[in-house]
Amino acid sequence: MTRLGVVLSGRGSNFLAIADQIQQGTLPAEIAVVISNRPDAPGLAAARERGLAAVSLPSKGVDREEYDRQLAAALREHGVDWVVLAGYMRILSAGFIREFPQRILNIHPSLLPAFTGLDAQHQAFDYGVKIAGCTVHFVDEELDHGPIVLQAAVPVEGDDTPATLAERILREEHRIYSEALGLLLTKPWRIVNRRVVLG
Ligand code: GRF
């Protein structure tokens, strides 16, 4: 069974959506460990409650390269095959990315390449787009940039606020993160230039 290492910094709803799919038997993987750079992340507490291996690895005051070495070591210790970023609020160093080639995924709450970085839903709302969405992508050395696995479009309604839009996007995030993982774990795929070719 493919061993996932979930890395998060906060709420952990994407982690929980993946954990639910695994529990229901619809995603053939297991969560080997959940690691948070923030000791007080609710996602880490949720992992503990579910009886999963949960590691607090505080990043405060630790140099990026050094931190990423510790993170890679902790993931290796738990025999992780795939790294699943789920609301991890730090950029990974090139050294870390080389440790897990084509095995690091992220979810971002916009239709990339639009609205990278923080508060993407708010950025999209302020820009006035009529279609927002979310993206599951491989992680490379640039922020919110690697090859795209799946995207979902979400309409922006006239009476939306940034919060209601973010909520609608989040529902799609929960759906497509597991779907993307399922595709990559069970079907042939390859990356051609920056296109993820499935099947
Ligand atoms: C999500 O919006 C995700 O797209 C972004 O960070 C947020 C994490 O939410 N990368 P959660 O911790 O999974 O609830």
Any atom of ligand 1 within 6 Å of the Cβ of 13: yes
> Is 158 domain-assigned?
yes
**Structural element, H or E, at residue 48:** helix 42-49
Q: Whose CA is nearest to atom 9 of ligand 1?
A: 87
Report d(CA 20, CA 67) in Å as an integer.
Answer: 29
> Is 16 domain-assigned?
yes
Identify the residue whose tokens are 């070495």.
69
Same domain, 79 and 158: no
Q: What is the pLDDT of residue 165?
A: 98
Question: Total structural domains in the chain?
Answer: 2
Catalytic site positions: 108
Report d(CA 169, CA 148) in Å as an integer.
Answer: 17
Q: What is the largest CA-CA distance in the chain?
A: 49
Q: What is the pLDDT of residue 20?
A: 98
Per-residue pLDDT of the chain (199 residues; tens, 9 = 90+): 999 999 999 999 999 999 999 999 999 999 999 999 999 999 999 999 999 999 999 999 999 999 999 999 999 999 999 999 999 999 999 999 999 999 999 999 999 999 999 999 999 999 999 999 999 999 998 999 999 999 999 999 999 999 999 999 999 999 999 999 999 999 999 999 999 999 8
Same domain, 66 and 80: yes
Residue range of the domain that includes 123: 107-137+151-199
Q: Which atom of ligand 1 is nearest to the CA of 173?
A: 4
86 CA distance to ligand 1 centroid (A)?
Answer: 6
Same domain, 51 and 68: yes
> Is 146 domain-assigned?
no
Same domain, 121 and 193: yes
Same domain, 60 and 155: no
Give the CATH number, domain containing residue 123: 3.40.50.170
Same domain, 83 and 2: yes
For the chain, the straight-line distance linking the first and the last C-alpha, in angstroms and rounded, comes to 21
